[in-house]
C-alpha cells in the first residue's frame, strides 16, 4: 500500500547565508515575522517597510531521507509552491516550477541529502516574461498578469502589496510499488431519479506487465473493474440516493466514495472523497427582457443570494480549516446561499469546498484571471491549461461547486478600458476564456456549466456588461452616483456591486496603535487602497447626511450606516424583480487584512452592520417598499418553499410618533415568488416629517420620502438596561438606525444584531457575547443612532 510521510519538520529558510526556522506549509513573510526580522505588515504603514522581501531570492532547506521501506518508488510531492522555484537534492536538479496554482511530483527514489527549494522573486519572473511577450494593459501597475500566481498579492483596491514566496501547501513523500492512483475524475449525476457515480481512473505504473483492477463503493453499491494499460472506468448506481440541495431548499446528504487499486487481490492505493447527488444547469435562454442567467438546481430555479469571496488572508497558508468554517459559517448565518470565488485569488483548499458541501453553500469558481490582459504565449499558455486540468479534476467531487467562470472583468476591460487599441492585435486572454477553458471543462467536467467571464453578455454582438444580458457588474453607482441609482436598472444577474465602509473600531485600534484616528489620518489613508476611496465615501455620505466635521466616531458610524443602506437599496430592488433578476452577489464578504473596503466582515473577522443587514436582505422572506409608477408598491418577496399569505399593516406616521393613517392590506406570495401590492394613496407619506411603516409576520419595511439629511428627526430618547449577555433599549421617541458597537465595550465582544429602528414605546434586546461585566454607562456610550440635523 502507498505510504505517505508528511515533510513538516526541520525546514530552514536561508537568505544570503543566514538561516531561520521555517514553517511548512508557510511563506517567507510569515517565517520572517515569526523570527522577529520584519514587523507585522498589517500594522500601521509596515507594509511598505517589508516591500524588500518580495525582491529577494529565498531558499527552503531540509534533510531528505527517502528510504522507500521496501517500495519500488518514492515521490516527493508538493501540493503548492509559490511560485518560481528550483528543487534540488544535494545539487541534483529535480525540476523547476512557475505556477502557484499547481501541484508538483518528483521521483526521488534512492536519493538522500539536502533538499533545497530555491525561490526566485516573482517580480523577476514577471518582468522577464513581460520582456519576452511584450506589455499588456491592466487595472493596476504591478505585473501580476505575467506570472501564474495569486494576483491580489501584488495589491488591489482593498489589499496590500505583499508578494509572497514559499512552500504554501503541504509537502510529503509517497512511497509505492507496482502502481499508484494518479488521478480519479468523478462524474456525479442523477439519471431518472438514480444517483450515478462514474469514476474515470488513471494510474502510474512501475511494472507495466502487472494486472491491475479497481474496486469502488458508494452508498451501499459496489463495483469492480479492470485497468487496461493506465486507465479504466467504473460506474456505480445508487437507486435510493437522496438529493443534495443548497441551504434553504433542502438537506445536504453526502456519500463516501472509496476506490481501491488492486494487484493480485492486494491493495496498492486508495482514493476517498465525499460526493453529493444533484443536477445543475444554467438557464441563459432569451426572453422579453433580454438574456437570462438563472441557476437551476435539481430542477428548482434559484434567486442566488450571493457574496464574493477573496482570499481570507494575503498569506493564504495561514487560513486553517477552522478559519474557513468560521468565515463560511458566518456567510450561511447571513442567509447567503452562493459564494463566488473571485478570479484575482486562488483555487481554495479542499477544506473550503468541504465546508460549502456541508453548509449548502453553492460555489461559483472563477479561474484565476482578473482585471488585466493576459498573454497567451508560452510559457503562460501551457501553465494555464495544466492548472485548469488539475484543478477542474481536483474540485469535481464537490456538489457545492455549480459554475466555472473564465475570468473577472477582462472581457469588459477589453471593450471599455482602452485595451483594444493599446493591444494592437496582441493576445490578451480571449483564447483562454473562449477556447482553452471551455474546452477543458467540456472534456473533463461536462456535469457543470461554464461561462466565459463576469461580466459577460454571452456574445460579442452585445456589450459585455449589458445589464439585459447575462451577468452584470454595477460599479458606476459606487464610483460616480448615489446608491438610489441602483433602482434605475433591473440586470439579469448582478455578479458584483457594493459600497465601502471602514472596519470595526477595535480592528482599527489594533491596526493603527496610538494614532489619533481621523478619516484622513496617515494610518487610515494607508489602509484605504481604493482610488479616491475617501472622496467617494464623503460624497456618498453628503447625499444623505450632514457631514460630521472633526468627529471620527460619528463619521465611522455614518459610513457604516451608509454601506448597509446602499447594499439594501440594490438587493431590495433586485429581489423584488425576481424572476427577471435571478441573483445578487455582494462585493464582498471578507477582507484579507484590516482595511476600509466593501467587505461585510472585516480583516479581523468582525461583522460590520452590513453583515447583519444581509441577514434581513437574504432571508427567505423580505418586505420592501419600492417607488414605482404611478406610486409606492409593497413587495412581499417569498423564497420559501411554501406560499406566504397574510395581511400587511401599513402606517403613515409622523416622525414624532403619531399615526396619520393606517390600513391592512392582504397579500399572497406563492412559493419562490414575489407579490406586489400598491400602497393606497392616502398612506403615502409626504415631506420631511412623515414616513411609512409596513409590518407583516414580524418583518418590517420603512420608507422615507426624503434623504435623511432632510428628515425632521426628533432628538432620540431611549432607556438602556443591561444584564449578563444582553443590552435592552426602550425607545421614548423614534430612534433611527440604532447600533450597538460591541467591540467598543471590549475588543472580543460581539453583538447579535446590527442596525435597528425603534418606534416610540418599542424595545429591542441585543445579545452581547464576550462581555462579562455589563456596565450601563459603557453600553450607552457604545450606542449610536441618527440624530437631527443641526
Nearest to 265 by CA among 200, 214, 204, 208: 214
Above 90 in pLDDT, residue 162?
yes
Residues 316-330 have pLDDT tens digits of 999 999 999 999 999
Distance CA 665, CA 652 (A): 13
At 755 the pLDDT is 98
Nearest to 275 by CA among 200, 353, 191: 353
Above 70 in pLDDT, residue 256?
yes
Above 90 in pLDDT, residue 27?
yes
Does the model's pTM come out above 0.85?
yes
Eight-state DSSP code of residue 429:
S
Residues 125-138 have pLDDT tens digits of 999 999 999 999 99
At 207 the pLDDT is 80
Q: Pick left, alpha or beta for residue 717 (phi over 0 → left; psi -120 to 50 → alpha; otherwise beta).
A: beta
Strand partners, 228: 231
At 16 the pLDDT is 81
> Is the omega angle on the peptide bond into residue 630 within 30 degrees of 0, that is, cis?
yes
At 67 the pLDDT is 64
- The DSSP line for 66-105 is ---TT-SEEEEEES--BSEEEEEETTEEEEEEEBTTS-EE
- The DSSP line for 364-380 is EEE-S-BSBPPP-STTH
Residues 718-758 have pLDDT tens digits of 999 999 999 999 999 999 999 999 999 999 999 999 999 99
- pLDDT, average across residues 21-35: 98
What is the three-class DSSP state of 341? strand
What is the three-class DSSP state of 680? coil
Above 90 in pLDDT, residue 143?
yes
At 18 the pLDDT is 86
Q: In which band, very low, low, confident or very high, does the pLDDT at 17 lie, cut at 50, 70 and 90?
A: confident
Distance, CA of 677 to chain centre: 35
Neighbours of 402 (CB within 10 A): 25
Percent of the chain whose predicted confidence (pLDDT) is above 70 = 100
Domains of the chain: 3-174 (2.60.120.260), 178-275 (2.60.40.10), 282-500+564-616 (3.20.20.80), 621-710 (2.60.40.10), 718-784 (no CATH)
Which of 206-220, 318-332, 472-486, 697-711 comes out lowest in average pLDDT?
206-220
Distance CA 298, CA 248 (A): 14
At 610 the pLDDT is 98
Percent of the chain whose predicted confidence (pLDDT) is above 90 = 97
Residues 197-254 have pLDDT tens digits of 999 999 999 987 889 999 999 999 999 999 999 999 999 999 999 999 999 999 999 9
- The DSSP line for 131-175 is HHH----BSSSS-GGGSBS-GGGB--SSS-B----B--S-EEEEE
- pLDDT, average across residues 517-522: 97
Give every CB contact of residue 204 below 8 A, 6+ residues apart in sequence: 179, 180, 182, 230
At 630 the pLDDT is 86
Distance CA 336, CA 614 (A): 8
Residues 66-108 have pLDDT tens digits of 766 789 999 999 999 999 999 999 999 999 999 999 999 999 9
Neighbours of 698 (CB within 10 A): 7
Residues 622-670 have pLDDT tens digits of 999 999 888 999 999 999 999 999 999 999 999 999 999 999 999 999 9
Q: Give CA separation, 517 vs 485, 550, 565, in Å.
A: 32, 10, 24
Distance CA 134, CA 374 (A): 11
First to last CA, the chain: 77
Q: In which band, very low, low, confident or very high, does the pLDDT at 57 lie, cut at 50, 70 and 90?
A: very high
Cβ–Cβ under 8 Å, residues 532 and 769? no
Q: What is the mean pLDDT of the chain?
A: 97
Above 70 in pLDDT, residue 790?
no
Please give the grid coordinates belonging to residue 709.
Answer: 439629511
At 68 the pLDDT is 60
Above 90 in pLDDT, residue 311?
yes
- pLDDT, average across residues 492-521: 98
| More confident site: 66 or 307 | 307
- pLDDT, average across residues 409-420: 97
Residues 682-694 have pLDDT tens digits of 999 999 999 999 9
Using the Cα atoms of residue 462, residue 463, residue 464 and residue 465 in order, give the sign of their dihedral: negative
| More confident site: 628 or 11 | 11
Residues 710-726 have pLDDT tens digits of 999 999 999 999 999 99
Give every CB contact of residue 555 below 8 A, 6+ residues apart in sequence: 519, 541, 547, 548
Interior/surface letters 460-486, b for 16+ CB within 10 angstroms, e for the rest: eeeebbbbbbbbbbbbebbeeeebbeb
Distance CA 690, CA 4 (A): 70
Cβ–Cβ under 8 Å, residues 600 and 568? no
Above 70 in pLDDT, residue 351?
yes
Amino acid at each position: 500500500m502507498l505510504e505517505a510521510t508528511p515533510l513538516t519538520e526541520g525546514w530552514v529558510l536561508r537568505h544570503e547565508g543566514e538561516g531561520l526556522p521555517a514553517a511548512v506549509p508557510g511563506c517567507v513573510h510569515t517565517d520572517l515575522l515569526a523570527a522577529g526580522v520584519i514587523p507585522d505588515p498589517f500594522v500601521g504603514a509596515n507594509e511598505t517597510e517589508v516591500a524588500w522581501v518580495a525582491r529577494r531570492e529565498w531558499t527552503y532547506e531540509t534533510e531528505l531521507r527517502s528510504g522507500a521501506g521496501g517500495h519500488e518508488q518514492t515521490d516527493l510531492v508538493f501540493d503548492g509552491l509559490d511560485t518560481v522555484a528550483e528543487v534540488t537534492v544535494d545539487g541534483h536538479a529535480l525540476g523547476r516550477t512557475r505556477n502557484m496554482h499547481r501541484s508538483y511530483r518528483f521521483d526521488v527514489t534512492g536519493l538522500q541529502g539536502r533538499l533545497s527549494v530555491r525561490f526566485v522573486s516573482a517580480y523577476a519572473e514577471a518582468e522577464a516574461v513581460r520582456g519576452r511577450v511584450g506589455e499588456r494593459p491592466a487595472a493596476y501597475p504591478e505585473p501580476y498578469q505575467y506570472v501564474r500566481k495569486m494576483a491580489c498579492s501584488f495589491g488591489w483596491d482593498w489589499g496590500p502589496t505583499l508578494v509572497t514566496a514559499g512552500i504554501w501547501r503541504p509537502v510529503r513523500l509517497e512511497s509505492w510499488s507496482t502502481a499508484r492512483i494518479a488521478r480519479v475524475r468523478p462524474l456525479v449525476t442523477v439519471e431518472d431519479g438514480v444517483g450515478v457515480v462514474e469514476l474515470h481512473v488513471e494510474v502510474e505504473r512501475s511494472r507495466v506487465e502487472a494486472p491491475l483492477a479497481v474496486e469502488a463503493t458508494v452508498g451501499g453499491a459496489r463495483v469492480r473493474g479492470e485497468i487496461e494499460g493506465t486507465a479504466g472506468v467504473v460506474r456505480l448506481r445508487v437507486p435510493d440516493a437522496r438529493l443534495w440541495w443548497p441551504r434553504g431548499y433542502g438537506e445536504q446528504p453526502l456519500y463516501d466514495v472509496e476506490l481501491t487499486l488492486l494487484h493480485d487481490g492486494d491493495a496498492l492505493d486508495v482514493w476517498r472523497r465525499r460526493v453529493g447527488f444533484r443536477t445543475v444547469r444554467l438557464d441563459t435562454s432569451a426572453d422579453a427582457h433580454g438574456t437570462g442567467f438563472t441557476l437551476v438546481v435539481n430542477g428548482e430555479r434559484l434567486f442566488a443570494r450571493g457574496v464574493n469571496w477573496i482570499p481570507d488572508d494575503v498569506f493564504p497558508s495561514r487560513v486553517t480549516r477552522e478559519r474557513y468554517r468560521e468565515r463560511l459559517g458566518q456567510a450561511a448565518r447571513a442567509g447567503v446561499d452562493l459564494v463566488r470565488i473571485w478570479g484575482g485569488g486562488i483555487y481554495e483548499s479542499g477544506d473550503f469546498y468541504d465546508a460549502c458541501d456541508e453548509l449548502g453553500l453553492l460555489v461559483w469558481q472563477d479561474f484565476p484571471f482578473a482585471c488585466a490582459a493576459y498573454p497567451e504565449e508560452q510559457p503562460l499558455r501551457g501553465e494555464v491549461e495544466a492548472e485548469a486540468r488539475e484543478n477542474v479534476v481536483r474540485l469535481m467531487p464537490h456538489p457545492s461547486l455549480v459554475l466555472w467562470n473564465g475570468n473577472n472583468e477582462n472581457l469588459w476591460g477589453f471593450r471599455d478600458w482602452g485595451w483594444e487599441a493599446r493591444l494592437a492585435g496582441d493576445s490578451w486572454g480571449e483564447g483562454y476564456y473562449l477556447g482553452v477553458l471551455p474546452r477543458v471543462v467540456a472534456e473533463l467536467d461536462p456535469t457543470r456549466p461554464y461561462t466565459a467571464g463576469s461580466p459577460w453578455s454571452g456574445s460579442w454582438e452585445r456589450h459585455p456588461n449589458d445589464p439585459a444580458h447575462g451577468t452584470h457588474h454595477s460599479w458606476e453607482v459606487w464610483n460616480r452616483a448615489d446608491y438610489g441609482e441602483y433602482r434605475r436598472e433591473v440586470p439579469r444577474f448582478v455578479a458584483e456591486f457594493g459600497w465601502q465602509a471602514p472596519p470595526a473600531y477595535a480592528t482599527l485600534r489594533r491596526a493603527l496603535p496610538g494614532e489619533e484616528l481621523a478619516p484622513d489620518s496617515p494610518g487610515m489613508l494607508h489602509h484605504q487602497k481604493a482610488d479616491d476611496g475617501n472622496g467617494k465615501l464623503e460624497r456618498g455620505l453628503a447625499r444623505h447626511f450632514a457631514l460630521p466635521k472633526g468627529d471620527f466616531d460619528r463619521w465611522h458610524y455614518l459610513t457604516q450606516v451608509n454601506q448597509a443602506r446602499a447594499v439594501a437599496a440594490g438587493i431590495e430592488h433586485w429581489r423584488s424583480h425576481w424572476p427577471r433578476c435571478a441573483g445578487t452577489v455582494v462585493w464582498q464578504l471578507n477582507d484579507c487584512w484590516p482595511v476600509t473596503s466593501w467587505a461585510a466582515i472585516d480583516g479581523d473577522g468582525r461583522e460590520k452592520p452590513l453583515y447583519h443587514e444581509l441577514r434581513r436582505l437574504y432571508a427567505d422572506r423580505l418586505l420592501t417598499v419600492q417607488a414605482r409608477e404611478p406610486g409606492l408598491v409593497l413587495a412581499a418577496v417569498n423564497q420559501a418553499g411554501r406560499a406566504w399569505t397574510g395581511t400587511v399593516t401599513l402606517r403613515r406616521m409622523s416622525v414624532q410618533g403619531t399615526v396619520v393613517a393606517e390600513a391592512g392590506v392582504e397579500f399572497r406570495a406563492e412559493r419562490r415568488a414575489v407579490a406586489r401590492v400598491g400602497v393606497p394613496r392616502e398612506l403615502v407619506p409626504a415631506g420631511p416629517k412623515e414616513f411609512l411603516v409596513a409590518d407583516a409576520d414580524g418583518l418590517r419595511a420603512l420608507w422615507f420620502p426624503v434623504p435623511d439629511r432632510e428628515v425632521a428627526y426628533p432628538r432620540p430618547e431611549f432607556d438602556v438596561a443591561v444584564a449578563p449577555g444582553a443590552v435592552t433599549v426602550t425607545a421614548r421617541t423614534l430612534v433611527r438606525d440604532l447600533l450597538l458597537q460591541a467591540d467598543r465595550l471590549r475588543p472580543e465582544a460581539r453583538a447579535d444584531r446590527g442596525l435597528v429602528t425603534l418606534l416610540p414605546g418599542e424595545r429591542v434586546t441585543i445579545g452581547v457575547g464576550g462581555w462579562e461585566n455589563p456596565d450601563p454607562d459603557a453600553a450607552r456610550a457604545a450606542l449610536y443612532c441618527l440624530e437631527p440635523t443641526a
